[in-house]
Amino acid sequence: MLVAKLHYHRISKQLDVHFDNQLVTTFSAEFLRVHSPSAEVQGHGNAILVTNKKEVAISTIEQVGHYAARIIFDDGHNTGLYSWDYLAHLAEHQDKLWQDYLVTLKQKKASREALIPIKLTH
């Protein structure tokens, strides 16, 4: 499956992925960050639990050839290449992956919340 369009909503921190078969899936920035395909997160086969990313946002999205996007997050993470196949996998298994993540957080007594709450005002 190919990706036809990516549309990021900065306020809601949601990324709409439009596939070429007309399927549209929405991912939160947090979901994409904690399921990054990077070696840093995947741990070369032993996945690392990414915590404290509830407030993470996407800073930039860069197309990589005709097969992937590099998603750069505001926490500095920029090493994940989200191939179209990987995005299709995430779309197909999103509910289970998210539930498994929440269960693992609970088991490890970890949190989605930021370590230090930060509020910016203008």
How far is 63 from 24, CA to CA, in rounded Å? 18
Mean pLDDT per 10-residue segment, the chain (122 residues): 94 97 97 92 81 96 96 95 97 98 96 78 66
Handedness of CA 87, 91, 94, 96 (dihedral sign): negative
Where exactly are the structural domains of the chain? 3-107
C-alpha distance across the termini of the chain, in Å: 42
pLDDT of residue 20: 95
Beta strands in the chain (DSSP E): 3-9, 14-19, 24-28, 58-64, 68-73, 81-83
Q: What architecture (CATH level 2) is domain 3-107?
A: 2-Layer Sandwich (3.30)
pLDDT of residue 117: 62
